Structures are given as C-alpha cells and as structure tokens.
Amino acid sequence: MTSLPPFDWDIFCAVVDNFGDIGVTWRLARQLQQEAGGTGVRLWVDDLASFARICPGLDPALDGQWQQGVYVQRWHDDLPAEAIPARVVIEAFACTLPAPFIQRMATQSPAPCWINLEYLSAEAWVEDCHGLASPQRVGNHSLDKYFFFPGFTQKTGGLLCERGLIVERERWQQDEAGLDVYWASLDLPPKEESELRVSLFTYESAALRSLVASWCQGATPVTLLLPLGRSLNDVLTGAGLADAIPTARAGDLLRSGSLAIKLLPMTDQAGYDRLLWSCDLNLVRGEDSFVRAQWAARPFLWHIYPQDDEAHIAKLDDFLDHYLADLPAECGQWLRDFSHALNHGLDVGELWAQWPRYGAIWQQHGGAWSQKLLAGGDLVTRLVKFLESRI
C-alpha cells in the first residue's frame, strides 16, 4: 500500500438518508482542500455505495482512494494502523468517532482540534451554543470538543459556499444561449417565454398530488424536472399517470394537460447546482439541496425532514422568520402558508393559484437573500477563522 501524507483535516461522516449528510461533508471536504491550504483532507465514510450516487468516479469496492484531491477512506469498525489523526478532526452531525481514533488524538502533541459540526438550524439558541467547548476525558488526557453550528446569522458558522460560486451562478443565469444548450443536453427545447420550469427533489407528500394536479389543469405550461426518487409516486399520481410508475425510467418525458414531466437520473453536485440555477422554482429537501437552492437565488420551497413529534415544523418556522423578514407581509404570509401546507401534506391548489401575484416578488427576494447570507462570510471562512487561535 502506498503511504499517505499527513493530513490537515479528518472528516467523519455516517451516511443518513442516502444523500443529506454525505452531500454536506463532501462539499466541505472539497472546499477545504481547494481553499484552506495545507496538506490535504481525508474523508471517512461508512456507506460508499450511497456516496457514489453523487460522486460517480468513486469505486465503492475500495477502502481508500483519491477523489478530486480528497482522500476517501472507508470507515470500518477496525481502524487502519497507519491512520494518524489530522491537525483538525471534524465529526459531522454528531456521528461518534471510533474510540481508538480518539485515543490516538489524545496522545498527540499538540492534540488535534476536535470539531463537532452540527446540523444546520435557524433556532435562536444556536447563537449561544456556537463555538462552545466540551471537555472530553480520554484516559489520562483531556481534549476539548468544539461545537460548530452552521446558521443564518453572523453569530453562527454560516453556510457552505465555494469561492466564486455566486459569480459562476450569475454568469450561468445571464447566458441565454448557454441555457438553451443546457436544456438541449436534457433533451428539452428552449424555454418558452410563458413557461415555468420547476425542479422537484422532496420527500413523499400528499401535497405534491394537488400541486401537480394544479400544474396539469392550469393555463401556464409547466415543465417539471424530476430526479428519480422518493417523490415519484406522488408526482405521477397527481398527474393522473399512476400507470406509468412501474416502468418510469430516467430520460422519460411524460405529459398530462399543461404539464410535461422530465425524469432525470441522479447527478453529481455541480450538475444539481446547474439544475437549480436554471429553474424558475425549486422544491428541495433536507439540508444540502436546501442550502444550494438559496445560492440559486430563485424561489424555493423547503420540505424539511419530517419528525414524529412535528418538531420539524417549529424549525421550519424559525427559518421562515429569517427568510420572510424582508418580504411584504402579505407575500410572506402566503409563503409561510405554502410551506406549512407542503410539510403537512395539505391541498395546495389554492395557494399555487397565487403564484402570478407573488412570483416576481419572490424571485427578486432570492437574490437579495443570497447576498445577505454571505455578509459574515461562508462556513469555511468562519471555520478557519475560528481555528486560527486554537491550532
């Protein structure tokens, strides 16, 4: 086996819900490798098969491999003997580091800086907990673990946003000829002036059936870009195309009334960004696609991960309190009602009917919101600044 260089960053990710956690940590790993300097990033992942869905060059059969400048290490119960902890060790989303790895961290001098990267939240208490240290006793040694909270205010860790992303997005959205080429790559004609193009990547929701039915029955042509996934059954049922569910394949173009549905394969992260940038409305889920929809500066609806006690609805409202604050009150209330209906699985037909009234206001708000989020710097910038006095 070829010996590995010392690493500046170790990131541990336990894959949950297929793409959410690994989507965020894969973006983080690449951005650290490209922008934070040093000798490299090692990403530990326990489910390489799911990871390969968003990183097509990844070989799930290999225990260790380089991908886009990042060393990807399969996370086994047994720790490789040669695995020396990096200067900074990040446990993503409260995954539990292997005990032998923690022991190796404790015996290093100086000890690595240990970061617990938390889930993104707009809740008010996050500002008070961001950056706090939690002393950890490891045998005869003591380590501090720091809690780092991504968030929407300058008192949090911010959001992942690669250097140059906003400039690239603006160039893409202003290039009409380039957009025509993009649509052609998906076997679609150029977008008509009166047409809406919508991307949809959500969980299951009965609300989708009424939304899709509204698109079918409306006067406005809608083309729905639908990556194959959990929402397929609700979408095709709402369109009256339930018979097509068993045979639906990526590349299919299905029609029902004013709606055309283009089924897409899973794409890599850069491809998903371009899809979001190209659409007039994006319905997204979880954390990674939720954040990328905000950088797209286009209208979006967030289908938050559902929890049994409906705690997710309170978290949704905490985000909406930030997101809607600068919108006219009437438009803001419409968007809050729409978001609640989607997340409660309610009929959204009457809410969608208000799109002509509020869509342009919502569109304008998207650009201002993305600029506001970057006022205190992106997540990697804030993380490096946080670490400067600790390593």
pLDDT in tens, 274-299: 999 999 999 999 889 999 999 999 99
pLDDT in tens, 127-141: 999 999 999 998 888
**Residue range 169-178: mean pLDDT, rounded:** 98
Among 95, 29, 19, CA closest to 289: 19
- Decide if pLDDT at 76 tops 90: no
**Residue range 60-82: mean pLDDT, rounded:** 92
Task: Enter the tokens of residue 221.
Answer: 């042509």
The predicted model scores a pTM of: 0.93
Q: Which fold has domain 7-158+376-388?
A: Rossmann fold (3.40.50)
Identify the pLDDT of residue 1.
38
| Backbone torsion region of residue 21, taken as left when φ is above 0, otherwise alpha when ψ lies between -120 and 50, otherwise beta | alpha
Identify the pLDDT of residue 3.
60
pLDDT band at 78 (very low <50, low <70, confident <90, very high): confident
Determine the 3-state secondary structure of 178 from DSSP: helix
Q: Among 21, 91, 288, 378, which one carries the catalytic annotation?
A: 21
Identify the pLDDT of residue 357.
97
Residue located via tokens 């860790």: 157
Give the helix/strand (H/E) hosting 187. Answer: none
**Residue range 312-341: mean pLDDT, rounded:** 97
Q: Among 10, 91, 280, 287, which one carries the catalytic annotation?
A: 287
Q: Catalytic: 318?
A: no
Identify the pLDDT of residue 38.
67
Query: b/e string for 137-151 if b means 16 or more Cβ within 10 A?
Result: eeeeeebebbbbbbb
Residue 231, φ and ψ in degrees, nearest 5: -90, -5
- Decide if pLDDT at 183 tops 60: yes
pLDDT in tens, 339-380: 999 999 999 999 999 999 999 999 999 999 999 999 989 999
Do 7-158+376-388 and 165-374 agree at the fold level? yes
**Residue range 299-326: mean pLDDT, rounded:** 94
Q: Catalytic: 21?
A: yes
Residue 92, φ and ψ in degrees, nearest 5: -85, 130
Among 4, 55, 61, CA closest to 25: 55
Q: Give the domain ranges of the chain.
A: 7-158+376-388, 165-374
Percent of the chain with pLDDT over 90: 85
Round the average pLDDT of the chain to a whole number and report it.
Answer: 94
Cα angle vertex 143, ends 141, 147, to 5°?
A: 165
* Higher-scoring residue by pLDDT: 109, 216: 216
Count of CB atoms within 10 A of residue 297's CB? 22
| Pairing outcome for strands 88-92 and 113-117 | parallel
Identify the pLDDT of residue 368.
95
CATH of domain 165-374: 3.40.50.2000
pLDDT band at 2 (very low <50, low <70, confident <90, very high): very low
